[in-house]
Structure 1
Amino acid sequence: MPNITDKLRDSKAFYVAAGAGDLAVEKIREVPERLNRLQERTDPKDLGGVALAYATRVGGRAAEVVDGLAERGKKIVSRVEHQKATQQLEESAKSTVRKAKAAAGSAKETTKAAGKAAGDASKKVGG
């Protein structure tokens, strides 16, 4: 039976989201380079107005895109958090942690008892 990780890996939507995020970061990183190229091609006398207009337009649009993606991401995460499968996975993880802690405690007690028994046995054999 496939687990949630396998289901995500088999989901085209998962790869679309990852690709969209990567593309957004790539495009945002290109902004400084584009500004530099614009500065090189523009007459220094006109540079201030053209570069400022471009920077304002690109910077404003980039901020809108980032804000939009962040808001969309929040909605998706919230929706996934409230899905039954996610809640079941969280409960299963909590149960596993509880069982692991109990097993560790039991192993600790068993080790302690075995150490005491070994000490008592060595006293009887040696004494």
Structure 2
Amino acid sequence: MPITDELKKTLTDPTPLYALAGAGDLAYEKLREVPGKVEEITSDRRAAQEKASARLQEAQARLVEAQAKVTETVTTLPTDLKVLQEKAQSFALQQVGRAAELAVRAKEVYDELAERGKVVVDRGRKETAKQIGEKDATFQSKVSAAADGVAETVAPAEKPAAAKPSTAPKPRTAARKSTAGKTSES
């Protein structure tokens, strides 16, 4: 009978109903707070709109100031095009002179580097030729020493043995019959 006791206890336990009632009450409480939150959000939005409007007005004021400065700058520019043209030509001639000076200096540096490189190459060639001469002399002395050593090992009194005739039998070849003397009898 314990199963029926458990079933009876489960069906008569009011705890799930209490939990449901508590959830409903919490939902009602939160829904009552909604109008206050909506009003708060609306007031925040209004404040944000007011800030944005103030910033927009500031930006427009700055734009007007900038336009006034641009207009003032344009009006103060020299209106005489000949003066501007002369200034531009003068500036261009100055730059051409500077470019010519730089070209001359570049040529001088180039020539200096070429001369320096020639000295370095000549020095390298001399050192290489000297090293080759030293190596050649060393090689020649080694060759002479080797030749002297070979000459000493071969006695001058000894003559190479004369070639003796070979005693090996020569291979025999089969004699061929001569067909020149035969005539054909057809």
Q: TM-score, normalised by structure 2?
A: 0.31
Q: TM-score, normalised by structure 1?
A: 0.41
Higher-Rg structure is 2
Q: Which has the higher helix share?
A: 1
